[in-house]
Structure 1
Amino acid sequence: MTGADGVTRLAEEYFVEPGRSNAELLEIVKALSVQGTGGAVELRSAIVEAYGRLLAHHPELAGNVANDLSDWKVVRFVPRLREILNAGVGLDEASRFAIAMYLSSADQGGSSKAVFTRSGGLR
């Protein structure tokens, strides 16, 4: 499995098909993060697509991709991450914070400023 096709296949097998533990999924996310950040940046668009599949099927892991999405200035997941943050979906404090920071950085002077509240919501 190599290149963008390999990333797509990996996303399908791990992020879409059921039966994988969160620990397995997190290891895949870590590997994709390393590749997208410095290893094989040409794969970044495929990795972003893979992260989209993760957000669709495993919203509880959203905090684990929020930093990459923010660093890579990917703003297309703002609605989905706002929805995940407001729903809670089993997010821990660190994940809520990472998502809130993504939303805040994605909001470039828009009419509504993303503010992280202690209750874990966004206002």
Structure 2
Amino acid sequence: FYMSVPDELCEAARIDGMSEYRIWAQIMLPLSKPALSTLTIFTFVNTWNDFLGPLLYLTRMELKTIQIGLRMFISQYSSEYGLIMAASVVALIPVVIVFLVLQKFFVQGVATAGLKG
């Protein structure tokens, strides 16, 4: 994303006397909020829904994640579908909250992705 930002913005800021950190903080960072929010949403969802990693390295029952807990409602001969659906809704709530918080930046990035100049 940073490579797509025009160099003229940074050059104009240098001419105005801004330091490199100030250029990043006041020009580059606000322009990159849509890209960073998209990255945050995708990384959070991927980490939150990870099943195999916690299954391999967590040994104590108190440390198990929600996704592993969902798997515990499925036995060899039956499944508790009501409990699975209820726990799925509970597991979905943090993902929806993160998306709703970052939705403004996400939509802004999608809307400005096709604009040139």
Give TM-score scaled by structure 1 length: 0.22
Higher relative contact order (CA 8 A, sep 6+): 2
Rg (Cα) greater in structure: 2
Please identify which structure carries the higher helix content: 2
